[in-house]
A = this chain, B = another copy of it.
Amino acid sequence: MRALEEKIVKEGLVLDGNVLKVGSFLNQMVDTSLAQEMAQEVVRLYKGVPVNKVVTIEASGIAIGFAVAAAMGVPLVFVKKSHASNVSGNVLTARIHSYTHSTDYTATVSADYITKDDCVLIVDDFLANGEALRGLIEIIRSAGATLAGCAVQIEKGFQGGGDQLRSEGVRVESLAIIEKMSVEEGITFRR
Query: 3 shortest A-B CB distances, which residue pairs?
Result: A58-B59, A59-B59, A62-B62
Closest CB in chain B relative to A153 CB, distance in Å: 14
- B85 pairs with A30, CB closer than 8 A: no
Residue from B35, B85, B100 in contact with A70 in the complex, judged by beta carbons closer than 8 Å = B35
Asked whether any CB of chain B lies closer than 8 Å to the CB of A158, the reply is no
Closest CB in chain B relative to A58 CB, distance in Å: 4
A binding-site residues for B, Cβ under 8 Å: 19, 21, 23-25, 27-33, 35-36, 58-60, 62-63, 66-67, 69-70, 73-78, 80, 84-88, 100-101, 109-110, 112-113
- B66 pairs with A23, CB closer than 8 A: no
Q: How far is the CA of A74 from the CA of B30 in the complex (A)?
A: 9
Could you say which residues of chain B place their CB within 8 Å of the CB of A113?
A: 23-24, 28-29
Q: Report 9 cross-chain contacts, Cβ distance below 8 Å, ordered by A residue.
A: A21-B88, A30-B69, A30-B75, A32-B74, A58-B58, A59-B59, A63-B78, A66-B67, A85-B100
Could you say which residues of chain B place their CB within 8 Å of the CB of A74?
A: 32
Closest CB in chain B relative to A113 CB, distance in Å: 4
- B75 pairs with A100, CB closer than 8 A: no
Closest CB in chain B relative to A71 CB, distance in Å: 9
- B63 pairs with A33, CB closer than 8 A: no
- A80 pairs with B101, CB closer than 8 A: no
- B75 pairs with A31, CB closer than 8 A: yes
- B110 pairs with A76, CB closer than 8 A: no
- B28 pairs with A75, CB closer than 8 A: no
- A28 pairs with B73, CB closer than 8 A: no
Residue from B32, B62, B76, B101 in contact with A69 in the complex, judged by beta carbons closer than 8 Å = B32
Residue from B73, B101, B110 in contact with A85 in the complex, judged by beta carbons closer than 8 Å = B101
